[in-house]
Amino acid sequence: MSTMTMPAGSPAATGGEAFLSVRDLYVRFSTEDGIVKAVDGLSFDVQRGRTLGIVGESGSGKSVTNLTILGMHNPATTTIGGEIVLDGQELTGASERQLQQLRGNKMAMIFQDPMTSLSPYYTVGRQIAEPFRKHTGATKRAAHERAVEMLAKVGIPQPAQRVHDYPHQFSGGMRQRVVIAMALVCNPDLIIADEPTTALDVTVQAQILDLLLEMQREFGSAIVLITHDLGVVANTADDLLVMYAGRAVERGTVEEVLRAPQHPYTWGLLGSMPSLTTDVSLPLTPIPGTPPSLLDPPTGCPFHPRCRFTEHVSGARCRTERPELPDGRGAACHLTPSQKAELYAEDVAPALGEEAVEAAADAERAADAEAVEDQVPGSTDSEENEQ
């Protein structure tokens, strides 16, 4: 697990045309126990040259979402609804032949366990060359040269010799580099990285993440980075989507979400992460309870059984009414902006360090100013008339 430091600044959302657009995505799995609601009304965009981090506990729907984008679910047991548009092409309902033409070519996935992603029966060079030959029609010789080139590009020493080696002859970090080379061999426009640094030590982890960003700068790819580690996205991603129980509960740029989080679930994730700016004697604060069963998710806000702030919401709205996630920056929570700012400043930020306290104070002042503005009728109109 990596420690987390707040970024000094992250690029603002570009607002440009989305290369990948997911709208109101639903994924249901039929099982003997019932219907698993794995993804429930998820929407997000990714632009070229930017990295979207998707975080959440295991079972929140992160990997299911991205496997759905690649069309890798069994259609006999899976029901998919909504829209997935990649560079203007609708993927929902696309045929297997169409998806095969896209997978490994226009979009590719880096899986978290290279030992299960690589075949022990074939050399790494053959496994890198195979998708290149399939999608480009290259000769065997050209594909071999491309495999050597990709091994060199991802930092494998003596690539001309190592291209003939088998996966078991590489270390864990080297195998992960091979998987990245295999995913990038056709210069895909969309890279989905599913926990690419899991089980790697921190030095190798940093090298892998730097390699991904270097490849992105070279090819202008859009990256979706799936992880449960906020420390990874803090230093890698541009935008951040927080998922819980198959839904998006908060989104914004990395700086916005990590400096001024608005959802109690995000507060819990931050509180359970070690930080370089906090007192080492302070214990980490785990999120109570466990993630809900997606066979029978809670009504209303899916996080309400584990949330310690429901008493601040009037009535039974948390249990009966599903909060909506607004467009752009925002969180799916019934707390008002001033309540979020106050609760975060008083109950959460002190455990996250001085920098978090300062950011919380800024957020609280902004929420107070917004509340005052909302209470002044016609203030916007009068300002426009004066101008």
DSSP 3-state assignment of 202? Answer: helix
Tell me: the pLDDT tens digits for 286-325? 899 999 999 999 999 999 999 999 999 999 999 999 999 9
Q: What is the full DSSP assignment across 306-338? A: G-S-GGGSSTTHHHH-PPPPPSSSEE--SS-HH
Global pTM value: 0.85
The one-letter amino acid code at 247 reads R
Tell me: the pLDDT tens digits for 362-372? 665 665 566 55
Tell me: the pLDDT tens digits for 19-75? 999 999 999 999 999 999 999 999 999 999 999 999 999 999 999 999 999 999 998
Cα dist. 345→355, 357, 386 in Å?
Answer: 11, 6, 36
Q: Hey, which residues does 155 pair with through a beta bridge?
A: none
352 has pLDDT over 90: no
CA angle 324, 22, 81 (to 5 degrees): 85
Q: Using CA atoms, how far apart are residues 97 and 89, in angstroms rounded to an integer? A: 14
Q: Using CA atoms, how far apart are residues 194 and 179, in angstroms rounded to an integer? A: 12
In this structure, how many other beta carbons lie within 10 angstroms of the beta carbon of residue 378?
Answer: 8
Q: In angstroms, how far is CA 209 from the centroid of its own chain?
A: 14
10 has pLDDT over 50: no
Which of 87, 41, 82 lies closest to 61, judged by CA?
41
pLDDT band of residue 186 (cuts 50, 70, 90) is very high
Q: Six-digit token pair at 387?
A: 């101008």
pLDDT band of residue 12 (cuts 50, 70, 90) is very low
Q: Using CA atoms, how far apart are residues 318 and 62, in angstroms rounded to an integer? A: 24
pLDDT of residue 366: 64
Instruction: Give me the residue spans of the domains in the chain.
Output: 259-385
| pLDDT, average across residues 327-346 | 92
